[in-house]
Amino acid sequence: MAGPASRSSAQKAPSSRSGLLRCIAITILVLVVLTGLAVLIIWLVVNPRRFQYTIEDGLVHGFDLNHNHLNASFDFAIRAYNPNSKVSLYYDSIEVYVAYDDQTLAMDVVKPFFQPHRNATRLEVKPVARSVPLLDSVSEDLRLEKTSGDVELVVRVKARIRFKVGAWKSTKCTMKATCSPVVLHLSSSKVFDRTYCDEDF
Ligand SMILES: *[C@@H]1O[C@H](CO)[C@@H](O)[C@H](O)[C@H]1NC(C)=O
Ligand SMILES: *[C@@H]1O[C@H](CO)[C@@H](O)[C@H](O)[C@H]1NC(C)=O
């Protein structure tokens, strides 16, 4: 009588194993679909939108080039706008760089602050270049631009930020924005043209 019993249990084993596998596969599939749905719903509710940076005003004083060294005092008003209605931001640090042909001329920092949702904050930065050594080519090109009365620079914003959605806070992320060309008029009579920045996360 041992024969048929062992045969029937041997027949049963593979079908119950494939049943278990199917059950695990379905459970995983359901979890994946539910996770996807949850992410989609959170995304739709939070509706994240890009932060916007604009250079509203720019000035330079004491722009002097001598023996491939630069002295200049820059003055920028940057508008940082958070268009989100559910995301607020902690700016833990903001660095603003002024560059020409990939060569950094000056930088300044902004004090850490918290930006509520749907808020525009005006940041004032005053990067100073004091006897900054320049490459020959950079010095020559800047000299030519100075003669024309306008210099075209690049302003880069680099920030360490954390998001806040409800009570949840993200870990620190790096946000970078590039504003180009920022045209500064050496004769103070001309009005600064607002420059929009491209944010690259
Ligand atoms: C920049 O300013 C320093 C004094 O702060 C001066 O010694 C230097 O000659 C100046 N350089 C230029 C290029 O004007
Ligand atoms: C943005 O927030 C800052 C401080 O957090 C506040 O001083 C400023 O008035 C706010 N701006 C707007 C447009 O709500």
Ligand 2 centroid – CA 119 distance (Å): 6
Are residues 68 and 56 in contact, defined by beta-carbon separation less than 8 angstroms?
Answer: no
| Whether residue 9 sits in one domain with residue 79 | no
What is the C-alpha separation between 84 and 86, in angstroms, rounded? 6
User: Same domain for 37 and 63?
Assistant: no
Residue 146 shares a structural domain with residue 177: yes
- Asked if residues 86 and 45 have their Cβ atoms less than 8 Å apart, the reply is yes
Q: Output the CA 151–ligand 1 centroid distance in Å.
A: 19
Ligand with an atom nearest the CA of residue 81: 2
**Are residues 40 and 68 located together in one domain of the fold?**
no
Predicted confidence at residue 47, as pLDDT, reads 80
The token pair that represents 195 in the structure block: 């420059």
Residue nearest to atom 6 of ligand 2 (CA): 121
For 165, the token pair is 């959605």
Count of domains for the chain:
2
- Looking at the structure, tell me whether residues 118 and 191 fall in a common domain: yes
Same domain, yes or no, for 90 and 181?
yes
Q: Note down the domain range covering 31.
A: 1-46
By the 8 A CB rule, do 31 and 65 touch?
A: no
pLDDT at residue 43 in the model: 85
| 111 lies in the same domain as 147 | yes
Statement to judge: residues 104 and 188 lie in one domain: yes
* Interatomic CA distance for residues 151 and 144, integer angstroms: 9
Q: Are residues 60 and 156 in the same domain?
A: yes
Render each residue's pLDDT in the chain as its tens digit; 201 residues. 444 544 554 455 567 788 889 999 999 999 999 999 999 998 888 888 889 999 999 999 999 999 999 999 999 999 999 999 999 999 999 999 999 998 999 999 999 999 999 999 999 999 999 999 999 999 999 999 999 999 999 999 999 999 999 999 999 999 999 999 999 999 877 889 999 999 876
Phi-psi group of 7: left, alpha or beta (phi > 0 → left; psi -120 to 50 → alpha; rest → beta): alpha
Q: What three-state secondary structure class fits 111?
A: coil
What secondary structure does DSSP assign to 140-182, as a single string? HHHHHHHHHTEEEEEEEEEEEEEEEETTEE---EEEEEEEEEE
Query: Residue 175 has which token pair?
Result: 């946000």
What pTM value is reported for the model?
A: 0.80
Q: Mutate which of 113, 121, 122 to test ligand 2's pocket (most atoms within 8 Å of Cβ)?
A: 121
Give residue 32's identity as a one-letter amino acid code: V
- 183 and 104 in a common domain: yes
pLDDT on residue 1: 47
- Among 123, 127, 122, smallest CA distance to 153 is for 127
Residue with the smallest CA separation from ligand 1 atom 8 is: 131
State the CB neighbour count (10 A cutoff) for residue 26.
Answer: 10
The answer for 32, left when phi > 0, alpha when psi is -120 to 50, beta otherwise, is alpha
Same domain, 61 and 133: yes
**Which residues, including other chains, have CB under 8 Å from residue 133's CB and lie 6 or more apart?**
68, 69
CB 146 within 8 A of CB 109: no
Question: Do the beta carbons of residue 161 and residue 93 sit within 8 Å?
Answer: no
Give how far the C-alpha of residue 92 lies from the chain's centroid of Cα atoms, to the nearest Å: 13
Task: CATH number of the domain at 101, please.
Answer: 2.60.40
Q: How is residue 51 annotated by DSSP?
A: -
Q: Give the Å distance between the CA of 125 and the centre of ligand 2.
A: 18
Q: Are 90 and 173 contained in the same domain?
A: yes
